[in-house]
Amino acid sequence: MATTYSSSVHRYAIFLSICTFILLIAGALVTSNEAALSVPDWPLSFGSLTPPMVGGIRYEHTHRVIAALVGLLTIGLAALLWRKDQRNWVRYLGLAAIGAVIAQGVLGGLTVLLYLHYGMPVAHACLAQIFFGTVVSIAVFTSRWWISDLPQVEDHGSPSIHTLATLNAVVIFLQVVLGAGFRHRDIPVWPHAAGALVVLAMVTWTAVALRKRFEGSREMSKARISLHAIFGLQFLLGIGAWWSRITTAEAPQPMPVMVTLTVVHTVVGALLFALSIVVVLLCYRLVPRRREVAATLPSQVAAR
């Protein structure tokens, strides 16, 4: 690939990914502690940049501060990409990240100003996952591994691994949407529970395909093991989070066990979605698409 590796850009993208993950934790703490409306105004908090950090205010205002930091860091990443990366599509992806983080901030504000109505909390939660996936993708695109000459592996199965990995990511994202809908009390729990079984089937199908078709690929093996491990953890956390909600349903306020299990379940779900995107990128980087393979056959025959 005609580009030069920049360790500073790659490390910056990793740092932003970590900061975004911390922001997801902060957002999950706001929802799980029912603190979303503890600050009634936006963008300031009670008309101030430094409100009293008591009760739910400490969760909501901390979330806003981290979000502002992530927004500034995103602008910095886009500037670095425009300056140091020769690939226009990567530069424009950096600009798209700025657009996503701005839209995310606006949705967060509307969530407060519209008193959690009109699906704003769910949209805010889902866009956060998309932004996280975008930043993680940029970290992959700016890595030394991505721009290196890598041995290609052929896919002889059906459907193609590109289709399968993409479908896996879509199914996991839809489960994220259902999870957000349940957490924000827009839908009952059963669609999310049913979705978990669909994700189980999809992750298993994808992992089996990776094992059978690309057993000799170190990258594909790591992707398969990671998919199994993170989904298994997420599935168990989901059971634990639901158990904690049932057993503390009569409590006058969110109990620590419920908050902890719900937050961890939420952020591990974000990791699973980000990993599903990485698997898609791995497949497109290492496995030529079939039309590309077919296009090379005439020239190969002529050369013989």
* Position 291 confidence tier, pLDDT thresholds 50, 70, 90: low
Give yes or no for residue 303 having a pLDDT over 50: no
CA-CA distance, 142 to 119, in Å (whole number)? Answer: 35
**Collapsed DSSP state (helix, strand, coil) of residue 21:** helix
Q: 3-class DSSP state for residue 45?
A: strand
* pLDDT tens readout for residues 43-76: 888 888 888 898 899 999 999 999 999 999 999 9
- Predicted confidence band of residue 297 (pLDDT cuts 50, 70, 90): very low
Place 290 in a pLDDT band, splitting at 50, 70 and 90: low
Mean pLDDT for 244-248 is: 92
Q: Nearest CA to 238 among 221, 261, 206?
A: 261
Asked if residue 27 lies in contact with residue 49, where contact means CB atoms within 8 angstroms, the answer is no
Most confident of the following: 155-164, 166-175, 209-218? 166-175
Task: Report whether 298 contacts 158 (CB < 8 A).
Answer: no
What local confidence, expressed as pLDDT, does residue 2 receive?
Answer: 56
pLDDT digits (tens, 9 = 90+) for 86-124: 999 999 999 999 999 999 999 999 998 888 888 899 999
Mean pLDDT of the chain: 91
Domain ranges of the chain: 1-147, 155-294
Confidence (pLDDT) at 293: 56
Residue 268 confidence (pLDDT) above 90: yes
| Nearest CA-CA partner of 157 in 87, 232, 208 | 208
The yes-or-no verdict on residue 1 having pLDDT over 50 is no
Looking at the chain, the whole-number percentage of residues with pLDDT higher than 90 is 75
Distance separating alpha carbons of residues 193 and 238, to the nearest angstrom = 9
Q: What is the pLDDT of residues 2-20, one digit of tens each?
A: 578 899 999 999 999 999 9
pLDDT in tens, 172-211: 999 999 999 999 889 999 999 999 999 999 999 999 999 9
Closest CA to 159 of 206, 196, 121: 206
Which residues contact residue 276 at a Cβ distance below 8 angstroms, ignoring those fewer than 6 apart?
165, 168, 169, 172, 173, 227
pLDDT score of 120: 92
